[in-house]
Amino acid sequence: MTLEILISDLLNGTKHGFFTRRGGASSGIFAGLNCGLGSSDQREAVNINRTRAAAAMEAEPEALGRVNQVHSADVLTVTDAQQDNLQGGTRADAMVTNVPGVVLSILTADCQPVLFHDAEAKVVGAAHAGWRGTLDGVLEATLDAMEQMGAKRQNTRAVIGPSISQSAYEVGPEFFDNFMMQDPENARFFTNGQGDRYLFDLPSLGLHRLRSAGVEEAIWTGHCTYSDPDRFYSFRRATHKKEADYGRLISCIRL
């Protein structure tokens, strides 16, 4: 099966893609393009998958930069294609670069993969934005790091890829309280669920934070990871099914 790669017209001028799970070498609960080196999948299969993703980005596997994602607001700035922290040695949740040929990659399985591009400044970024990272400012931090490389927020376009949608994201009152303590206006991202539960709209939060930070053009692709098991991995779905582990989707961008 060939790879399925979702692209956006908003990021014209870059080589980019939100990869689905289709077209990979993994099997079992990981069936498809599992690119998560931190999963319990067979390492050989994951490396094959990552090599296929790199080839789709017209790059060698070693050009596929990554970070050790920890749900933070920390950003890795890549200024040299040969720098030694491009293979997961840095604890961060976003990357930015102005170096042609360097592929920025983010892994997700319900959290938001967000790709950024300032075509005029020739700067790109990629962020892993779960609820914690988004609340703590990883999207704004990515824009700050891009500005340090000459980008401008008003010229930057951002696309949120496949993420868990509100209808599948049930949370408890303590989760809701975390958001209310930061800003009571965050109530707009919740609707009432069963009993004391809420349904949380992560992509709407991401879009709000991007636009409030000065990004004039930002969209979500509209794909829900939880509700489409044939195309996407989902941590929450795997948890509900009591599976031992789950695959990770890869999203990439390069100049």
Residue 61 lies in a domain: yes
pLDDT value at residue 86? 83
- Looking at residues 93-112, what average pLDDT do you find? 97
Residue 189 lies in a domain: no
pLDDT, tens digit, 9 for 90 and up, residues 163-190: 999 999 999 999 999 999 999 999 999 9
Residue 170 lies in a domain: no
> In a 10 Å sphere around its CB, with 0-12 CB exposed, 13-18 middle and 19+ buried, how is residue 147 labelled?
middle
Domain ranges, residue 100: 5-165+201-254
Give the count of domains, the chain. 1
pLDDT band per the 50, 70, 90 thresholds, residue 82: confident
The three-class DSSP label of residue 39 is coil
pLDDT value at residue 88? 81
Residue 174 lies in a domain: no
pLDDT band per the 50, 70, 90 thresholds, residue 81: confident
Query: Comparing C-alpha atoms, which of 116, 127, 111, 125 is closest to residue 225?
Result: 111
Query: Do 230 and 221 contact (CB within 8 A), yes or no?
Result: no
Residue 221 lies in a domain: yes
| Chain CA centroid to CA 140, Å | 14
Alpha carbon separation from 1 to 17, 21, 25, 84, 210 (Å, rounded): 17, 11, 10, 34, 35
pLDDT value at residue 1? 67
Write the single-letter amino acid at 50: R
Residue 45 lies in a domain: yes
Q: How far apart are CA 64 and CA 154, in angstroms?
A: 28
pLDDT value at residue 29? 97
Q: How far apart are CA 98 and CA 89, in angstroms?
A: 20
Look up the CATH number of the domain holding residue 82.
Answer: 3.60.140.10
Residue 192 lies in a domain: no
pLDDT, tens digit, 9 for 90 and up, residues 26-57: 999 999 999 999 999 999 999 999 999 999 99
Query: Do 78 and 104 contact (CB within 8 A), yes or no?
Result: yes
Residue 33 lies in a domain: yes
- Looking at residues 118-129, what average pLDDT do you find? 98
